[in-house]
Chains A and B, each alone.
Chain A
Amino acid sequence: MQELTERELVRGCLDEDRRCQELLYARYARRMYAVCIRYARHQLEAQDLMQEGFIRVFDKLKTFRMDGSLEGWVRRIMVHTAINHYRRKAFQMERFGLEHVPEEGVPSTAVDQLGEQELLAMVSSLPDGYRMVFNLYAIEGFDHAEIAGMLGCGESTSRSQLAKARRMLQGMINNTTTPIHAGRTSH
């Protein structure tokens, strides 16, 4: 079964072959879950996105035209599932007072010290709007016009959200190398 091509896999899934469905899921689950984590605020939300995304994958599989990469197609569905999820929430682009955060260069050594998990955690901790725009622009490679169309906002909003996301990430990276001496109490 491991040697099945994408075409055979798709046909098996369309025939409701349970083994093919499991194989398709197993083949892409790890990469897609990483995508979902980037778009989600926390693990539970990522699992919801993953579940909803794969249900859509199996439902829409008959529309896959076999002329492109199946992984790319599944990935697009995952991204659009995340976008739809946040559009349903009618999230608003956050207006955090980040203007005071100076735009400074990030030392490459500081980034190199960070592992994937730390970087992933930083992206996940971004506010919803920042996270969506940063993921779509910086990692998926969409431009602002496409992002504006997908999120239902203006291009200028997309640009400003991206800029603020970058500043916030810079701040996080810098903080990881700067010990915090302030005491903290929560109420």
Chain B
Amino acid sequence: MREEHPIDNHFREALLGNEVEPPPSVWEGVKNGRRRRRGLVFWSRRRGLAVITLFVALGAGAYWAVRHDRTEDLPSVTLSNPSTAAEKTFPATQSTEQRPAIESTSEATITAPISPPPVVADESIAGNPIVISKRSSEQRPPVDEEHNRISVPPIAIADAAASSGIDLSLSTEATTDIRTALSALSVGPIDRLEPLRSHLRVQAPTFTPETRMVPVYVLPPGEWWLAAQLGWYDVRRQWKGSDTQLSDALNASETWTSTIGVGLVVGRTWRSGWGFSVGAEHEQSEQAFRYVDRVTQVDQEIITSIVTLNTEVIASTSDTVVTQVLDERVSEGMDRRSVVRVPLEGHWRASWRRWAFGVSVGVAGEFTHVTSGAILVRNEPDGRITTAATGSDELRARYPVVLLGTVSAEVGYVLHERWNLWASPAYMRTLGAFEQGSAVYSEPERFGLRLRLSYTFNGTRDR
């Protein structure tokens, strides 16, 4: 049963329908809050999808790069067989870069690998008794291990072509191609190619000692790389400044807050393992804070008792009653910040098999923008600590541009020749703050783990 009390009625009648004009900043806050919430919803709904899309795109790029590396620059020659109407293309041979191949659009593939070839298309041409490239491992051409070269048995090709009526005449382009192919070959006795000359109308290349040498590939002196970075950090801010009471209050309300940062980093690593990187990273964080402002109020009351008879004072006493009241004022709020960081780091790396290890040290400029929320301020009338919206320039100036020192360990794994995955535990601490336009300012400190997926570009190769 509902109990009614006279005081309830008094307050209900006075307050139930009353109106108070809100300040205009509230409507501005509503509009900004809605806009921000729509952005957050968009971001939160699509963040997972975006990360998946990013990795799928990077994976597709890596796959394309792998396929591209396997098939590019393979010299080839096209043979035509008028007796075979259909064209058939054989798949590319194995992926050794220096392995040239001669492809026939009629049916077959002739390969002339430099290293012992485990390859080749075992293919019989339907309706055509000729087997140009049928070559099993038992039928491999002789390999000169000492000079790492082989001899192509062209006579067999020519004989087979002649007996079957295959026209081995080549177009101008094909001639160029076969020259390229032959020049890339380290073919032994050049005179063995002579029987092919009449059929292929190709001038056997003049081999000089230089061209006969097996190319020696060494690591490039330096390589550029580009990396997408995802970082998980725990951030805490140290408040400093001339207003020690306020900075103490802010420090008391600080807690470690988790954030996620995304960024792009580009760098160069030299053969010695030394290198540098520069990039940009963005993180958005929000931090709930709570501060209890305790003030003890002391009330003193002097009570005087006087006993009089007629006009004479017979007795008098004075007592001082002291009352202490502990007043606690809780201030809470949410502080939202957007941070852009520009790191410049030097690193040293060493590799072991597919693994790489290293350390990096550097500096980073950090730019903080307070997006919304509240922060502790000193209440001017009574000097106590309370909260205020982070809209004023003075409050924004509490987050100056800072220079961070960064140090991290790096562990990498080579996913592919050009793709590396790195994990780097990192620590960042403020070295100095610029443009301190407020009585208090913050200096961030950050622990975290960075994940990088990097792509290495072509380096300049020494031969």
Q: Which chain A residues have a beta carbon within 8 Å of chain B's beta carbons?
A: 22, 25, 29-31, 33-34, 37-38, 42, 44-45, 47-48, 50-52, 54-55, 58-59, 89, 105-106, 108, 111, 114, 116, 119-120, 123, 134, 137-139, 143, 166, 169-170, 181-187
Contact = CB atoms under 8 A, between A and B. Distances in A.
Nearest to A22: B27
B15 A123 contact: yes
B297 A34 contact: no
Contact of B20 (A34, A42, A44, A114): A34
B58 interface: no
B10 to A, nearest CB: 5
B168 to A, nearest CB: 73
Contact of B27 (A29, A114, A170): A29
Contacts of A34: 15, 18-20
15 contacts: A31-B17, A34-B20, A38-B15, A44-B389, A47-B23, A51-B26, A51-B33, A89-B332, A119-B11, A119-B14, A120-B18, A138-B5, A138-B7, A181-B301, A182-B299
Interface in B397-453: none
B300 A185 contact: yes
Interface string B270-302: 000000000000000000001000011111110
Contacts of A187: 295-298
B27 A106 contact: no
A100 to B, nearest CB: 13
B16 A139 contact: yes
Contacts of A50: 22, 26
Interface in B37-54: 37
B386 interface: yes
A47 B29 CA distance: 9
A137 B298 contact: no
A34 B20 CA distance: 5
Contacts of B298: 184-187
Contacts, number: 123
A163 B126 CA distance: 102
A170 B387 CA distance: 30
A24 to B, nearest CB: 11
Given A44-B389, A182-B301, A187-B295, A111 B10 contact: yes
A119 B6 contact: no
Contacts of A22: 27
B34 A33 contact: no
Per DSSP, are chain A's interface residues mostly helix, strand or loop, or mixed?
A: helix
User: Nearest 9 pairs between A and B by C-beta?
Assistant: A30-B19, A138-B8, A33-B22, A51-B29, A182-B301, A34-B20, A111-B10, A55-B33, A54-B30
Contacts of B388: 44
A143 B5 contact: no
B312 interface: no
Nearest to A38: B15
B264 to A, nearest CB: 33
B6 A105 contact: yes
Most buried by B among A105, A119, A123: A119
A42 B272 CA distance: 64
A58 B299 CA distance: 49
A169 B37 CA distance: 39
Given A31-B19, A89-B332, A187-B296, A169 B29 contact: no
Given A47-B25, A114-B14, A116-B15, 6 more contacts: A47-B389, A48-B333, A55-B30, A137-B8, A143-B2, A185-B297
A51 B10 contact: no
Contact of B30 (A25, A31, A181, A185): A25
Nearest to B14: A119
B11 A138 contact: yes
Nearest to B324: A187
Contact of B34 (A58, A123, A181): A58
A139 B27 contact: no
A28 to B, nearest CB: 10
B34 A116 contact: no
B14 A116 contact: yes
B21 interface: yes
Contacts of B26: 29, 33, 47, 50-51, 54
B197 to A, nearest CB: 79
Given A47-B26, A55-B33, A139 B300 contact: no
A137 B3 CA distance: 10
A163 to B, nearest CB: 9
Contacts of A182: 299-301
A47 B11 contact: no
Contacts of B297: 184-187
Contacts of B19: 30-31, 33-34
A31 B301 CA distance: 43
A52 B388 CA distance: 15
B147 interface: no
A30 B17 CA distance: 10
B188 to A, nearest CB: 79
A183 B64 CA distance: 84
Contacts of B386: 42, 44
A106 B10 contact: yes
B18 A55 contact: no
Given A42-B386, A55-B34, A25 B27 contact: yes
A80 B199 CA distance: 92
Nearest to A85: B332
A187 B290 CA distance: 22
Given A139-B15, A143-B2, A169-B7, A48 B299 contact: no
B33 A116 contact: no
A120 B12 CA distance: 11
B330 interface: yes
Contacts of A184: 297-300
